[in-house]
A and B are shown apart, each in its own frame.
Chain A
Amino acid sequence: DIQMTQSPSTLSASVGDRVTITCRASQSISSWLAWYQQKPGKAPKLLIYKASSLESGVPSRFSGSGSGTEFTLTISSLQPDDFATYYCQQYRAFGQGTKVEIK
């Protein structure tokens, strides 16, 4: 089975910072990777699919890149609404999550 590993587990940042989260797959998954944002008490929300495609309605400050086994989610300028936990996912496997906290 494919395993997904995210880093870091926790990230402290300030409003306006550029933030990057990494996700690694245990074997090549081409570009079949999605990113989600989850806030406390809420369901996850799809941000990025197929590694780099922005879901409709998602702000353009979010972007995704990568292929094969290494992927990144970048928030170009962190906004107050972006403090949340982010997960990568390849069909049956989710990463363990990255919590973005206020510095």
Chain B
Amino acid sequence: QLQLQESGPGLVKPSETLSLTCTVSGGSISSSSYYWGWIRQPPGKGLEWIGSIYYSGSTYYNPSLKSRVTISVDTSKNQFSLKLSSVTAADTAVYYCARYGVAHDAFDIWGQGTMVTVSS
């Protein structure tokens, strides 16, 4: 069964770059049927789509974050990654990686999420 697992620092200093990796196990990230996305959720708030990537490297970003976001994919490691630059306290959130099925047009499998706090 396919699983996703986020990894990365739980604490990032203001103005620095947040870096997270999502490792896909039990299946290939190179499937033509799926995109791979990042979604975040600030404490006590709703879900915000950050961006998505296709295994070929095509990327799609939330316009409100586009200037600070880079998503990349490493098919050899079955991983995709998120970098968010110039972070502030407003970027404190649980960050989820998830699989987006083209047939479902929905995020059908999610990682457990990882809490990232921006603080000095």
Contacts and interface: CB of A to CB of B under 8 A. Distances in A.
Given A43-B96, A97-B46, A34 B105 contact: yes
A42 B110 CA distance: 10
Given A1-B63, A92-B62, A44 B104 contact: no
Of the listed residues B39, B46, B101, the one surrounded by the most CB atoms of chain A closer than 10 A to its CB is B46
Given A1-B63, A43-B112, A49 B46 contact: no
Contact of A43 (B46, B60, B113): B113
A94 B48 contact: yes
A43 B101 CA distance: 17
Interface string B99-114: 0010011111011110
A32 B104 CA distance: 9
Contacts, number: 56
A38 B60 CA distance: 25
Size range of the chain B interface in the assembly: 20 to 34
Interface string B22-43: 0000000000000000010000
**Interface SS of B by simple majority:** strand
B47 A44 contact: yes
A23 to B, nearest CB: 13
Interface string A41-69: 01111100110010100000000000000
A93 B60 CA distance: 13
A72 interface: no
A47 B108 CA distance: 9
Size range of the chain A interface in the assembly: 20 to 34
Contact of A96 (B46, B96, B98): B46
A43 B111 contact: yes
A46 B103 CA distance: 14
Contacts of A92: 49, 60, 62
Interface of B: 39, 46-49, 60, 62-63, 96, 98, 101, 104-108, 110-113
Given A36-B107, A92-B49, 17 more contacts: A34-B107, A42-B112, A43-B98, A44-B96, A44-B107, A44-B110, A46-B104, A46-B107, A49-B105, A50-B104, A87-B47, A89-B107, A93-B49, A94-B39, A94-B49, A96-B46, A97-B46
